[in-house]
Chains A and B, each alone.
Chain A
């Protein structure tokens, strides 16, 4: 048998052994045994000196090829075995991915606050400031400056919690009209302000009345602000709050601090304007009061009604929230029942 045949046999046997190995450890032993210094290839090459000189390089190179082939086979086999091991491990790690994930605690924003935030953002976007007024007001600002002198019949429309004869829980956010008018420097531009906050009425709590609720007052005063601008402003707010499909209409009404005074209705969200129980068949829902600021209010606050004028409006976020989410009982907003609050995200 020639040396070349010997090498060929070594290769064939080696490949068989490699192929038969089942783990990395035995494969390593095979590697040492086949390719090590005491391995068959090294042994076989010892006989190379017996060959004629011209054959030696041929056989030497053949031996190197075989050594490389075996080394490659071992590496390939090793990768194969490692992959199999990894796959087995991964298979063991398989999870039921439909099991629920870990809980992450996250609170729920209050629905009224959400509506107020939305309204604030809409008016901030239109260049308004947000002013926060006192909740305990003077009769002077709550009534007198709003063109509601003592004994005015419209005071009956706002039953009041008095603290003293002159100090009361504000019945509306409108006193912020007077307060902002008094302070505003018209040489720096128009007065554009909204004022959200909590207000109080001497009412017995029931599904449609709460002794505490929220309002957002708004006022814009400059040299040429029109009722058409009021319509546009209310329409913008309605579209952003409820959607573009909602229309706004005005109806005559009465507030002592505006003239003309209007009530604004929007398309009924329950029936989309077709008429239903919620809107008493009219297709419209009353949502806010507004009007052109009464000259007396301007005058009392030191603003000349001949030069300046504008509109004011008052929005009820509680009512908006009731309409938007179909809440039937205003008290739900103040009971803080988690089963209620957690429905809003």
Chain B
């Protein structure tokens, strides 16, 4: 919404520069996107007069014009416009000028003929094509005959008027008009304003109701009024009116249409004018469209309507889309003599839905969606009729025709100074507050510390005491509100154990060399379903923007593999990532998915690169398993973690993947990504893990307690054995632990060998066993007995051969 600085100054005493005024508006009312003039960035564009012209000898469409720009000698300018005319005052860009699009004009030869500047159309000096009147669409623009030669053109075209572009929030529909802005600024500057734009006396003898009938369903249009103006002379508006409109971004059409638009910009009331002769049976009604009905709107779009649409129709057909745009058939043209002007209030929700459905967001719909001043509808209608009498020689018929007429009363809200200060933290007196309300044009009735505040209908968004508090805050000034910290009962701020565990998990993995990645929760259907330990239904978006982000992820790894692919495609080979976040599982009968916290890691390449003294070791299964194992150790889990070979996850290497179990429960997996999956992602060999963090959060934790360090020496024994290839370390380890007796403290696997001197089908394992008795010196016999027992069980149960 553009606001004209010059127009504001007609009503207010403003001592601020346009920029400072913009700043003031931003601090007290609504955001300001920009403050600019149409002449910004333009220079050396002056008034000239065409003295004579002749056809270019070598180019039929070009004319060689002699232009008087108030200098001694005329300027020769070659011009391609079709409408050059001797005697006309035109816009001349001199050599060295800067015109629209930041283009610099230089002297040049055009097809061999010297041209010392350019004659300009409005679009060439920065006007958007959307605001250039149709009559000036092609060709150069003619300035008023009294424009002074050699003067800058900017003032003649209103281009020096500073325009303040407001970004109006949904609650400040009142700021979508000059009237609203003037009242608001009057409160800010503490000035008195009078904005009663009264209509002139109707010149017509007949009554409006003899020519037109109106009907409106109050749900669709709570207020709907019509007025007839006869014998109008439709022609272009005077320049001052055209300037006002184009500066506000509205294209001048003709005097009647321009007046309806001017009244909308000035008073905030959208209006529409119909050619009375095109209204069948002189009957206008607001109704729901019939399915299949069609209308061609003023933008020349044919639209097929449904029962959701609301139309203005005569007895035969729709002649307008209610609150959006008029129809093409009944529009005011140069042949129109009698018109009917419509002023209504259309229901916000219906207007909004229609605008969305038709992709037709207009100045009118923008206003009806946010609401308009219901107390000023008829006044605006009469004011417009008066202007049409003045500027189009029409004769307004007597009175208005009413289709619907909601009774609108100002709202009265009860509030107290105590309440306002209680919310704002201020200590304003009742007098100061009353003064602010008066500045806003509200009336205040004081009754023992209770204030009854009556709000005029032009501030229709103020309904409850919180709204009044906002008015006080912004007029008093947010900068003047003190800065304090809350005074309340002391509360304890602390993370929950779950939050703490998640935070610690991130820290540990960072310490283990993995970088924290955050990838997208929405992914493709295929990726969402990867790396699943359990079946789950996927959760789809109804209307995704792209297939890349259409389904909620059920794993973190697919996102991390995408990340690795992104990096490796850019020459970053060694990529160690972890991610912590939610995945989304859903049972078939579940609508809303269950959100589960996961943590996952993926490493491709090496954790550390080769250097002068260290060779990089590419990540492998045991490297990744070590990272997971160490991480899990930090969680003080009470139950034991174990690893179990699995070939059930199709995206994982069938021989290099282990389920991770906590007690008997599977909590995740670790291993190598299946080479086919890696190939599909275009990544190098990658090792990964993914864990259910929620299960780790709820898992039983061991109480950490100090155990006395034994003062007695420990005894170590090494055991080497030959075992069958299919026997796992876990099996051997379990027997050693189980049979090792009370003093076996630690078992460490220190060698695995299946090379030379080991029979086929066998492998050699070697363990170091450490025994310790905290109470007395261990005797060799005790240890020998334990080792014998272990040996016996290994031989009996696993058929091992001790070496």
Say whether, besides A198-B581, A228-B426, A229-B486, A135 and B491 are in contact (CB < 8 Å): no
Determine whether the beta carbon of B516 is less than 8 Å from that of A113.
yes
Q: Which residue of A lies closest to B550 (CB)?
A: A161
Stretch at the interface among A16-24, A80-88, A250-258: A250-258
Residue B29, interface by CB 8 Å: yes
Stretch at the interface among B136-144, B307-315, B337-345, B472-480: B472-480
Determine whether the beta carbon of B352 is less than 8 Å from that of A108.
no
Stretch at the interface among B519-527, B528-536, B702-710: B519-527
Contacts of B544 in A (CB 8 A): 161
Determine whether the beta carbon of A251 is less than 8 Å from that of B478.
yes
Out of B170, B464, B482, B545, name the residue touching A204 (CB < 8 Å): B545
Determine whether the beta carbon of A110 is less than 8 Å from that of B486.
no
Assembly CA distance A227 to B170 (angstroms): 22
Q: Which residue of B lies closest to A250 (CB)?
A: B478
Assembly CA distance A309 to B424 (angstroms): 11
Determine whether the beta carbon of A108 is less than 8 Å from that of B474.
no
Out of A190, A202, A227, name the residue touching B491 (CB < 8 Å): A190
Contacts of B15 in A (CB 8 A): none
Determine whether the beta carbon of A337 is less than 8 Å from that of B473.
no
Determine whether the beta carbon of A105 is less than 8 Å from that of B512.
yes
Determine whether the beta carbon of A338 is less than 8 Å from that of B567.
yes
Stretch at the interface among B38-46, B293-301, B588-596: B588-596
Determine whether the beta carbon of B519 is less than 8 Å from that of A336.
yes
Assembly CA distance A100 to B613 (angstroms): 9
Contacts of B595 in A (CB 8 A): 134-136
Out of B492, B522, B614, name the residue touching A127 (CB < 8 Å): B492
Contacts of B369 in A (CB 8 A): 153
Assembly CA distance A190 to B490 (angstroms): 9
Determine whether the beta carbon of B542 is less than 8 Å from that of A163.
yes
Determine whether the beta carbon of B466 is less than 8 Å from that of A260.
yes
Distance (whole angstroms) from the CB of B158 to the closest CB of chain A: 25
Determine whether the beta carbon of B486 is less than 8 Å from that of A105.
no
Determine whether the beta carbon of B169 is less than 8 Å from that of A109.
no
Out of A112, A125, A134, A232, name the residue touching B483 (CB < 8 Å): A232
Residue B240, interface by CB 8 Å: no
Distance (whole angstroms) from the CB of A108 to the closest CB of chain B: 5
Determine whether the beta carbon of A226 is less than 8 Å from that of B512.
no
Distance (whole angstroms) from the CB of B543 to the closest CB of chain A: 7
Q: Which residue of B lies closest to A233 (CB)?
A: B485
Q: For residues 242 through 293 of chain B, which have their beta carbon under 8 Å from a beta carbon of chain A?
A: none
Determine whether the beta carbon of A113 is less than 8 Å from that of B541.
no
Say whether, besides A163-B540, A336-B518, A220 and B486 are in contact (CB < 8 Å): yes
Determine whether the beta carbon of B517 is less than 8 Å from that of A336.
yes
Q: Contact mask A292-331 → B, CB, 8 Å, 1/0?
A: 1011000000000000010000000000000000000000
Assembly CA distance A254 to B522 (angstroms): 30
Contacts of B566 in A (CB 8 A): 335-337
Q: Which residue of A lies closest to B507 (CB)?
A: A109
Assembly CA distance A235 to B482 (angstroms): 12
Say whether, besides A212-B522, A263-B31, A161 and B541 are in contact (CB < 8 Å): yes
Stretch at the interface among B2-10, B116-124, B570-578, B671-679: B570-578
Contacts of B172 in A (CB 8 A): 254
- Which one of A157, A189, A231 has the greatest number of beta carbons of chain B within 10 Å? A231
Residue A211, interface by CB 8 Å: yes
Determine whether the beta carbon of A252 is less than 8 Å from that of B545.
no
Residue B488, interface by CB 8 Å: yes
Say whether, besides A333-B518, A337-B566, A99 and B612 are in contact (CB < 8 Å): yes
Determine whether the beta carbon of A162 is less than 8 Å from that of B542.
yes
Residue B489, interface by CB 8 Å: yes
Residue A339, interface by CB 8 Å: yes
Q: Interface size of A by Cβ–Cβ distance < 8 Å? A: 88
Determine whether the beta carbon of B30 is less than 8 Å from that of A252.
yes
Assembly CA distance A230 to B27 (angstroms): 17
Q: Which residue of A lies closest to B351 (CB)?
A: A153
Distance (whole angstroms) from the CB of B637 to the closest CB of chain A: 22
Q: For residues 243 through 267 of chain A, which have their beta carbon under 8 Å from a beta carbon of chain B?
A: 249-254, 259-263
Determine whether the beta carbon of B612 is less than 8 Å from that of A341.
no
Determine whether the beta carbon of B510 is less than 8 Å from that of A106.
yes
Distance (whole angstroms) from the CB of A197 to the closest CB of chain B: 9
Contacts of A126 in B (CB 8 A): 493
Determine whether the beta carbon of A136 is less than 8 Å from that of B612.
no
Residue B509, interface by CB 8 Å: yes
Determine whether the beta carbon of A249 is less than 8 Å from that of B478.
yes
Distance (whole angstroms) from the CB of A207 to the closest CB of chain B: 17
- Which one of A124, A161, A337 has the greatest number of beta carbons of chain B within 10 Å? A161
Distance (whole angstroms) from the CB of A268 to the closest CB of chain B: 14
Q: Which residue of B lies closest to A134 (CB)?
A: B595
Distance (whole angstroms) from the CB of A296 to the closest CB of chain B: 9
Distance (whole angstroms) from the CB of A248 to the closest CB of chain B: 9
Residue A236, interface by CB 8 Å: yes
Out of A189, A292, A334, name the residue touching B466 (CB < 8 Å): A292
Residue B636, interface by CB 8 Å: no
Assembly CA distance A109 to B483 (angstroms): 34
Q: Which residue of B lies closest to A164 (CB)?
A: B591
- Which one of B352, B486, B540, B575 has the greatest number of beta carbons of chain A within 10 Å? B486
Determine whether the beta carbon of A105 is less than 8 Å from that of B491.
no
Assembly CA distance A129 to B499 (angstroms): 11
Determine whether the beta carbon of A162 is less than 8 Å from that of B543.
yes
Distance (whole angstroms) from the CB of B486 to the closest CB of chain A: 4
Residue A192, interface by CB 8 Å: yes
Assembly CA distance A200 to B490 (angstroms): 35
Distance (whole angstroms) from the CB of B193 to the closest CB of chain A: 21
Assembly CA distance A261 to B745 (angstroms): 65
Residue B28, interface by CB 8 Å: yes
Assembly CA distance A244 to B748 (angstroms): 55
Assembly CA distance A202 to B540 (angstroms): 14
Residue A37, interface by CB 8 Å: no
Residue B481, interface by CB 8 Å: yes
Out of A109, A232, A282, name the residue touching B506 (CB < 8 Å): A109
Q: For residues 98 through 140 of chain A, which have their beta carbon under 8 Å from a beta carbon of chain B?
A: 99-100, 102-110, 112-113, 117, 120, 123-130, 132, 134-136, 138
Assembly CA distance A252 to B425 (angstroms): 17
Contacts of B582 in A (CB 8 A): 135
Q: Contact mask B341-373 → A, CB, 8 Å, 1/0?
A: 000000011001100100000000000011000
- Which one of A107, A231, A309 has the greatest number of beta carbons of chain B within 10 Å? A107
Residue B539, interface by CB 8 Å: yes
Query: Chain A: residues with CB nearer than 8 A to chain B?
Result: 99-100, 102-110, 112-113, 117, 120, 123-130, 132, 134-136, 138, 151, 153-154, 156-157, 161-164, 166-167, 169, 189-190, 192, 198, 200, 202-204, 211-212, 220, 222, 224-229, 231-233, 235-236, 249-254, 259-263, 282, 292, 294-295, 309, 333-339, 341-342
Return 15 A-B CB contacts under 8 Å, by A number. Answer: A136-B593, A138-B592, A151-B349, A156-B356, A163-B541, A189-B491, A200-B521, A226-B423, A235-B483, A251-B478, A253-B169, A259-B469, A262-B478, A334-B520, A335-B563
Contacts A225-B488, A232-B486, A260-B469 known; 15 new A-B pairs at CB < 8 A: A100-B611, A109-B510, A113-B518, A125-B493, A128-B491, A161-B543, A162-B543, A203-B545, A211-B522, A225-B486, A226-B484, A226-B486, A233-B486, A251-B27, A341-B517
- Give 9 closest A-B pairs by Cβ, nearest first: A228-B425, A105-B513, A226-B425, A254-B169, A260-B470, A336-B563, A250-B478, A127-B491, A103-B608
